[in-house]
Amino acid sequence: MNELTLTSDRILDATEEVLRRFGPAKATVVDVARALGVSHGSVYRHFASKAELRDAVTERWLARVSAPLDAIVQETGPAPQRLRRWFAKLIEIKRRKVLDDPEMFATYHALAGDARAIVMGHVATLTTQVTVIVADGVARGEFAVDDPAAAARAVFDATGRFHNPAHAAEWADPQIDKAFEGVWQLVLRGLTAHRR
């Protein structure tokens, strides 16, 4: 690759492939540079350190989770249905990552463990998305909560078993969807309780 055509996105693409091939413990910036056919100094011109490169890969991976969810946030339909679709999509994305490519998921999970600030930012993005839907539901009289942000965080936490990677081993359970439905009905009753 010509160093003039080297971009951050190409470096991140190559890094993902190197991580897939060698795993997070063995992958190096030199491996990434070799995959791109450039010097490791060229990679360092875009990313100052191996840690920064790994953080960028983690951030991009997490953005692939939150981006499709934002489309649901931007919809204008009833908030209860939008919120249900938002969680269904989040769960689908996370399960697909775990069940379709467990090795790569394990790699990203390891990277995320070293990128606490990025993960916290991701969780903040997700809870902000939920807050927007809950606040819209309050404005439309569909939800009855005093603090949409606090309610959003509570809903996010209450459903954590179904989307938090710490619970990934449970997601193959054939009863997991039924379990989510039980939690969802309880959450929905809580969001609408004062309307009755």
Domain boundaries, the chain: 3-48, 55-195
Over residues 80-105, mean pLDDT: 91
User: What CATH number was assigned to the domain covering residues 3-48?
Assistant: 1.10.10.60
Is pTM beyond 0.85 here? yes
Burial class (CB in 10 A: 0-12, 13-18, 19+), 121: middle
Is the pLDDT at 196 greater than 50, yes or no?
no
Half-sphere exposure in the Cβ direction for 59 (13 Å, CA): 12
pLDDT (tens digit per residue) in 170-194: 998 999 999 999 999 999 999 997 6
Are 83 and 133 in contact by the 8 Å Cβ rule? The answer is: yes
Confidence grade of residue 3 (pLDDT, cut at 50, 70, 90): low
Dist. CA 9–CA 2, nearest whole Å: 15
Calculate ∠ Cα 151-153-157, nearest 5°: 115
Q: Which tokens go with 52? A: 């920064």
Per CATH, is 55-195 categorized as 1.10.357.10? yes
Over residues 80-106, mean pLDDT: 91
In this structure, the number of other CB atoms found within 10 A of the CB of residue 143 comes to: 24
Q: Which of 58, 81, 85, 60 is nearest to 70 (CA)?
A: 85
Provide the CA 7 distance to its chain's centre, in angstroms.
24
